[in-house]
Chain A
Amino acid sequence: MSIEILVYILGGLTVGSALMVVLSKHPIRSVMYLILTFFLISANYIMLNAQFVAIVNMMVYAGAIMVLFLFVLMLLNLSKENEPKSSLLVKIASALAGGSLLLVLVAAIKDTVVLQVAEKVTDNASGLVQNLGHLLFTKYVLPFEVSSILFIAAIVGAVLLAKRESQIIE
């Protein structure tokens, strides 16, 4: 019972801090709340005993990607005075776009049937490193390798875009 309460508290905190990302005025504050959200998502993973996913989420998102976000925002030196003012038209347009996205999502989700999980989960150790690694390299080896090729392609593409043309030819 106490675990259930803990799950509700964690979920509430996660949604709350995710809302604060959107609601806070200052961009740096937004990023700080986003980092907090990633931590809380990691905590949710730990509640599911998925320790590996939790720590990788923390390392990659909170530890590396958000550092880069913060890095760029600090260089931009945004403050309240020189914040770009958005016009009324833009506000109405964004409200319409966001509202229609919400409508589509609600319409899509409201009729879904919760399917029974085909594989009966007999123990809660499937999130531990050994089991996860075993699954990744036996049952799901093809999707795993394909996604790693995708990542390499993305890295090469990023390097190609970042370098000037003359540097590549050399």
Chain B
Amino acid sequence: MLEKLILVGIIFTISLVIAMYATYFERKVAAWFQDRIGPDRAGPFGLLQPLADGVKMFLKEDFIPRNSDKWLFIMGPGIAMFTSLMTSTIIPWGPDIVTASGNIVLQVADFDIGILFILGVVSVGVYGIMIGGWASNNKFSLFGAIRASSQMISYELAMGISVITIVMMTGSLSLRDITEAQHGMNWNIFYQPLAFVIFFVCSLAELNRAPFDLAECESELIGGYHTEYGSMKLGFFLFAEYVGMFISSAVISILFFGGYNFPGMDSVEGNTLAVLGVVALFVKIFFFIFVIMWIRWTLPRFRFDQLMHLGWKRLIPLALINLLVTGLVIAFTSGWFN
């Protein structure tokens, strides 16, 4: 019980710290892509910049628009933050740590429903944006909220279908079983490249990241759903996006890139294996966070009809075909047609 509580505390802190430094990293990556230097004033290499931003956010006036729905206005950022932090409970962070009094499992809870829990929580996450946007009583916020919700519903379907192929291959919904099935270099990406592409595109859309950031598109909607927000409430919305980025990078690494598995893992064992496994998972996570930023500073934003077209007419049929082919191959290899 105590070890689980400590683990929850550690994961909570790590998610927040990584989200904090992801903001710094994003500005550095942007600067690199645009041939600038980026933040370098606060501390060595600008490393204290996230702290300075946080202090600034806290010290700003906490403003609630006069004709807004006060309760829902406050609830919005809270829900966004809560749901994005909640998904980290079922992620397996590494192999067991061996101690004298038994093994410590580096996973808060291994639910029977596994990956469905993540899909469920993510689908609830859109309420934060919707409620916040509606409660602001501003037409641009409302547009942002409506865009976010329709986008979320459209991409959830393709995302779910692409996950089903992985579940079919593993025969389990549990993220730990999915990770264990990819021992060493036997990663799912080599069997399901199409499912990976679909899942990755859908996660970008679910995260409201560029090129799918239509809910907060500056050129059309001022700031989208957070136009009326200021101070730490705005901070929570932005922060939730970065926490979501961290968690979805972790989920992508686990589903398609072997999680904490790495080539040559059979030659080490015990706590060395546990430490190296955690390091391997985090290397993959950081790589995907970088790729998401890379895409943001490379691709222009979609138009809304293009977004809907891609979701409903391209990704869902592709995901369905992929599912069908995977099912046939599995049936064939397990000897159903002999």
Which residues of chain A come closer than 8 Å to B111, judged between CB atoms?
51
B134 touches A28 (CB 8 A): yes
- Given A64-B153, A70-B149, A59:B112 Cβ within 8 A: no
Which residues of chain A come closer than 8 Å to B142, judged between CB atoms?
74
Give the residue name and chain of the B residue nearest to A59 (CB). Answer: B120
The dominant DSSP class at the B interface is helix
- Given A59-B120, A71-B150, A74-B142, A129:B113 Cβ within 8 A: yes
Size bin of chain B's contact surface: 20 to 34
B149 touches A67 (CB 8 A): yes
Give the residue name and chain of the A residue nearest to B173 (CB). Answer: A129
Which residues of chain B come closer than 8 Å to A75, judged between CB atoms?
146
A74 touches B120 (CB 8 A): no
Verify if B276 is at the interface (C-beta below 8 Å from A).
Answer: no
> Which of B113, B117, B130, B173 is close to A67, meaning CB atoms less than 8 Å apart?
B130
Which residues of chain B come closer than 8 Å to A63, judged between CB atoms?
120, 123-124, 156
- Within the assembled complex, what's the spacing in Å between the Cα atoms of A71 and B130? 8
> Which of B112, B146, B156, B173 is close to A71, meaning CB atoms less than 8 Å apart?
B146
Interface residues of A in 37-78 (CB under 8 A from B): 51-52, 54-56, 58-59, 62-64, 67-68, 70-71, 74-75
Interface residues of B in 112-165 (CB under 8 A from A): 112-113, 116-117, 119-120, 123-124, 126-127, 130-131, 134, 142, 145-146, 149-150, 152-153, 156
> A118 → chain B, closest Cβ, in Å?
26
Of the A-B pairs whose beta carbons lie under 8 Å apart in the complex, a sample of 15, sorted by A's number, is: A32-B72, A52-B116, A54-B113, A55-B113, A56-B116, A62-B123, A64-B153, A67-B126, A70-B127, A70-B149, A71-B149, A71-B150, A74-B142, A128-B112, A129-B112
Interface of A with B (CB < 8 Å)? 28, 32, 35, 51-52, 54-56, 58-59, 62-64, 67-68, 70-71, 74-75, 128-129
